[in-house]
């Protein structure tokens, strides 16, 4: 074993949803720590630019198509990934989507889209990749949650249900697969500016409101997640499983604080 507990050289990480956003943040951090990457997206061509970037870091990459709402696509991707690389050490279940609507306006279709992508998709990708991990008696599975894994937000009913589910699913899978040498944890980011929430960041008033409620007084920056993802992917977290690690500037603990301070002050 390397003396550097955070060294990922010789390991392969598969990340779902690497065409943009947090999936690419996670990819950069894992590649810098030494991991080779399997990149996935519904359209393979959207991975081309990131593939070049990862190769420039000196890592090998494989790009595969994956639609996490399609069971056959998950099985195809998992078989191909394992055929190409042999062993997948790390899985980051990142692909996801969101629909913001008042609860009274949420349709059956909205609910299915968000839950099928975020929760059902994460489960079946984990299952498909864990089969190989069980055979190798080693694996690090990191499910991406959110602050909504531990708290509610108006207008985010289906999303919050999916992220709360991810947290619970993480605990169940950790219990199920620990005996096979697999750890399963949930990394729950706070607010990071990506395509998923760009519209909200265009509203300066909203950014000010958000910033006031974050104890560390700023939204997340792209590399704020690096330490947590490398920790959960590496030997450093070998005795940690079933946990949810919030990387949110403290908003999940301080949401009420700003309101109370305003009233008092
Ligand atoms: N941004 C935040 O502040 C934040 C905070 C907490 C949690 N999260 C979660 O972190 C993850 C990444 O968020 P993001 O902000 O980076 O979102 P994003 O910019 O919208 O990226 C979402 C990624 O998921 C992929 N994806 C969506 N539906 C898919 C499907 N059916 N099959 C396969 N891939 C699919 C997309 O790939 P293609 O469209 O190319 O297929 C894309 O790469 C999401 O699960 C999100 O809910 C985000």
- For the segment 86-108, what is each residue's pLDDT rounded down to a tens digit? 999 999 999 999 999 999 999 99
The CATH homologous superfamily to which domain 12-194+222-251 belongs is: NAD(P)-binding Rossmann-like Domain (3.40.50.720)
Atom of ligand 1 nearest to the CA of 159: 47
Ligand 1 pocket check for 196: Cβ under 6 Å: yes
Atom of ligand 1 nearest to the CA of 19: 43
pLDDT above 70 covers a percentage of the chain that reads 95
Collapsed DSSP state (helix, strand, coil) of residue 188:
strand
Q: Tokens 């062993």 sit at which residue? A: 87
Set 25, 71, 159, 209: catalytic member:
159
DSSP string, 4-43: STT--TT-EEEES--SSHHHHHHHHHHHHTT-EEEEEESS
Ligand 1 pocket check for 249: Cβ under 6 Å: no
**Average pLDDT value for residue range 223-227:** 98
H or E element that contains 61? strand 61-65
- Chain centroid, CA 174 distance in Å: 16
Pocket probe mutation, ligand 1, options 194, 206, 248, 249, max atoms within 8 Å of Cβ: 194
pLDDT above 90 covers a percentage of the chain that reads 91
Pair 174, 241: CB distance under 8 Å:
yes
Alpha-carbon distances of 206 from 197, 200, 201, 210, 212, rounded to whole Å: 12, 7, 7, 6, 10
C-alpha of residue 40 to centroid of ligand 1, in Å: 11
Ligand 1 pocket check for 69: Cβ under 6 Å: yes
**Average pLDDT value for residue range 36-41:** 98
Residue 196: band (very low, low, confident or very high) from pLDDT cuts 50, 70, 90: confident
Q: How many residues does the chain have?
A: 265
- Distance in angstroms (rounded) separating the CA atoms of residues 217 and 249: 8
Give pLDDT, residue 262. Answer: 53
Q: Write out the two tokens for 158.
A: 């289906």
pLDDT tens digits, 128-176: 999 999 999 999 999 999 999 999 999 999 999 999 999 999 999 999 9
Cα radius of gyration rounded to whole Å, the chain: 18
Collapsed DSSP state (helix, strand, coil) of residue 151:
coil
- Distance in angstroms (rounded) separating the CA atoms of residues 256 and 265: 14
Name the least confident of 113-117, 222-226, 234-238, 254-258. 254-258
**Average pLDDT value for residue range 212-223:** 94
Higher pLDDT, 201 or 76: 76
Pocket probe mutation, ligand 1, options 45, 95, 211, 225, max atoms within 8 Å of Cβ: 95
Give pLDDT, residue 260. Answer: 47
- Distance in angstroms (rounded) separating the CA atoms of residues 150 and 39: 29
Q: How many CA atoms lie within 13 A of 198 on its CB side?
A: 5
> Does 159 qualify as catalytic in the annotation?
yes
Q: Where are the alpha helices (DSSP H) in the chain?
A: 21-32, 48-56, 71-85, 108-115, 121-136, 157-177, 198-201, 204-213, 226-233, 251-264
Give pLDDT, residue 255. Answer: 55
Ligand 1 pocket check for 165: Cβ under 6 Å: no
């Amino acid at each position: 074993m390397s003396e550097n507990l955070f060294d990922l050289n010789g390991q392969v990480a598969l990340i779902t949803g690497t065409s943009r956003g947090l999936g690419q943040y996670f990819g950069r951090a894992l590649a810098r720590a030494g991991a080779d990457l399997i990149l996935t997206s519904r359209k393979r061509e959207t991975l081309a630019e990131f593939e070049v970037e990862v190769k420039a870091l000196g890592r090998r990459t494989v790009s595969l198509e994956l639609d996490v709402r399609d069971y056959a696509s998950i099985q195809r991707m998992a078989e191909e990934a394992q055929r190409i690389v042999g062993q997948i050490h790390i899985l980051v279940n990142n692909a996801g989507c969101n629909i913001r609507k008042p609860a009274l306006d949420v349709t059956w279709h909205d609910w299915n889209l968000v839950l099928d992508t975020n929760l059902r998709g994460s489960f079946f990708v984990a299952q498909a990749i864990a089969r190989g991990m069980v055979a190798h008696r080693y694996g690090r599975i990191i499910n991406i949650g959110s602050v909504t894994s531990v708290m509610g937000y108006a207008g985010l009913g289906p999303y919050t249900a999916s992220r709360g589910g991810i947290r619970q699913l993480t605990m169940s899978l950790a219990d199920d697969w620990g005996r096979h040498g697999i750890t399963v944890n949930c990394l729950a980011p706070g607010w990071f500016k990506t395509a998923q929430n760009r519209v909200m960041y265009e509203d300066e008033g909203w950014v000010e409101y958000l910033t006031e409620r974050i104890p560390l007084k700023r939204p997340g920056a792209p590399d704020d997640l690096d330490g947590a993802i490398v920790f959960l992917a590496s030997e450093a977290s070998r005795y940690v499983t079933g946990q949810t690690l919030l990387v949110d500037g403290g908003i999940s603990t301080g949401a009420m604080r700003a309101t109370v301070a305003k009233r008092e002050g």
